[in-house]
Structure 1
Amino acid sequence: MSGDPTEQPAPVVRPAVWETYGPADLSAVPVFAGGFINFGYWQSVDLERPLSQDDRIRSEQDLYRHVLDAVGPAGGRAVEIGCGLGLGCALALDEHGPAAITGVDIHPQQLQRAREANSRLLAAQPHRLRFVLGAAEGMPLGDAEYDSLYSVEAVQHFPDLPAFAREAGRVLRPGGRVAVAGFFSIDGAPAPAERLAAMLDSFASGLDIARPVARLADALSEAGFDDVRVASIGPQVWPGWDRWLSRLWEPGTWPRNFLAAWEQRILDYYLVTATRP
């Protein structure tokens, strides 16, 4: 893949992704209060009391904080793959202190929403924030341009994990760090694709892709990354996510099956980190 951003072809968006993040606008669905579009990291939220919208937003922000802490020291240039509305980019700029950050998303409607949601920040700090159209497998970014690359709950949509890993290695400088948070099937789980499709509409529709977490870890190793680590953060994600879903969906409805898939050892939520030599 060339390092010249002008040579990158327009990304091909899978139909389920196009609909969900375009016309359907998942960020406007009440369950994703705050617009971050992630399941949340609930470790600091008391799940024994009724949950508020502030609790939900905190969980989404805390997932970003957990990933940003894992990606390494503040400073330098960072890139988020699958940036959505760009609220995580804004949080990173405010709390983590990169010199600059680029948000990449495959959906043009999401990028337009990101520019609108962050219009004041873009106007005030144009040298520190930008949003660009691109795919995880074909990033419109220069070679060795970034010190860190992270992605929060977008990897389940990436069709080609080895291509993503190669691109991450290309755009990161030596010593650069990658951190990816998302859900995968558990290594060794029998027939995960079929079982998840039977339990969860997002897998049945093709929006989410069922793959073992080792697939990403192996792709990063094969792309030349060192110190590849896989950590389950399911206990900090699934119970809180299900507790929040219970406000809107009854037991037995398909969104509540995320917790069931975790309890049945089919699906889990992971943080995967690695370093470019």
Structure 2
Amino acid sequence: MRAAVRETYGPADLSSVPVFAGGFINFGYWRAIDLAGPITVDDRVRSQQDMYRQVLDAAGPLTGRRIVEVGCGLGVGCALALREYRPERVTGMDIHPQQLDRARRANAELLESSPSGLRFIRGAAEEMPFGEGEFDCVYSVEAAQHFDDMVAFTQEAARVLRPGGRVVVASFFTPDDDPDHGARLASHLETFADGLDIARPVTLVTDALTRAGLADARAVSIGPDVWQGWDRWLSDQWKPGTWPRNFLKVYEQGDLDYYVVSATRPS
């Protein structure tokens, strides 16, 4: 685990920061939110829930299936998946033991009422502690930018998927392999400068999924429904020119975008 990841998700509970209202830690999918008027905390929570729905909808029908979230954080996305998509079991996996402790506390009631339907396990994206073909879906929401080795993750995702299973990843990547993207991102965004986030082209992900033996690898930009809403939410808390507001800037200048990336293990 890199130091930046350990420190960011360690003693201080990032999910308690007001910008991540509701315990989710993602920028949000804002299509259903009216950005012209005041944005409420309920709007913010819905944006983050809708990001999960974008990913889970892309995974296909999940009723009765076994699914795993890689980088589950507080586990509130796992709870949403269990509640709304009716899988047989949701496994939340995270590399950070303190995050898993928080996830078990936050979902204690659900773990007690549905012990066979929800579990939390420690593991790395590059070396998952699961058997071959254990899951019908591997998904990840805004964690892939932290993964040490994206190629190893795609190989592991392919390994733990059953034939016909799907992998779906939502995160932010550079739109192409221009080597200058990384330096520009680091100059505008602290998370890239300190190594928490890693600049990678989205084509690296789709190509790696294909090389791992998965089919129909594709990346769909959802940036127009992410960056404007995120910046609008931040505008009441952060002044223009402060670094969190620069996510919209780097998107507009073509250095970063937000994607839903998916592929299928052939039957």
Q: TM-score range by the shorter chain?
A: over 0.9
Q: Which residue is 2:33 aligned to?
A: 45
Q: Does 1:251 align with 2:240?
A: yes
Q: Deviations over 1:108-141 (max 9, x none)?
A: 0000000000000000000010000000001111
Q: Residue 80 of structure 1 aligns to a residue in which SS?
A: strand
Alpha-carbon deviation of 1:188?
4.4
- Which aligned pairs between 1:233-272 and structure 2 lie closer than 5 A? 233-272=222-261
Q: Does 1:34 align with 2:34?
A: no
Q: Which residue is 2:113 aligned to?
A: 124
Q: Deviations over 1:67-88 (max 9, x none)?
A: 0000111221000000000000
Q: Which residue is 1:16 aligned to?
A: 4
Alpha-carbon deviation of 1:97?
1.0
Q: Residue 216 of structure 2 aligns to a residue in which SS?
A: strand
The 8 Å contact of residues 79 and 146 in structure 1, kept in 2 or not, is answered as yes
Q: Does 1:199 align with 2:211?
A: no
Question: Which residue identity is paired with 2:101?
Answer: Q
Query: How many residues matched?
Result: 265
Alpha-carbon deviation of 1:25?
2.0
Structure-2 separation of matches of 1:63 and 1:57: 10
Q: Deviations over 1:153-193 (max 9, x none)?
A: 00000010110001001100000001000000111445011
Q: Cα 1:264–1:189, aligned 2, differ >3 Å: closer, same or farther?
A: farther
Q: Which residue is 1:142 aligned to?
A: 131
Measured on the aligned residues, the alpha-carbon RMSD in Å equals 0.7
Q: Residue 34 of structure 1 aligns to a residue in which SS?
A: helix
- Identity fraction in percent: 65
Structure-2 separation of matches of 1:203 and 1:29: 20
The 8 Å contact of residues 141 and 171 in structure 1, kept in 2 or not, is answered as yes
Q: Which residue is 2:146 aligned to?
A: 157
The runs of 4+ residues in structure 1 deviating greater than 3 Å are none
The 8 Å contact of residues 186 and 213 in structure 1, kept in 2 or not, is answered as yes
What is the TM-score when the length of structure 1 is the normalising length? Answer: 0.95
Mind listing any 5+ residue stretches in structure 1 that lack a counterpart? 1-12
Larger mean CA deviation between 257-266 and 188-197 belongs to: 188-197
Structure-2 separation of matches of 1:23 and 1:194: 30
Mind listing any 5+ residue stretches in structure 2 that lack a counterpart? none
Alpha-carbon deviation of 1:24?
2.7
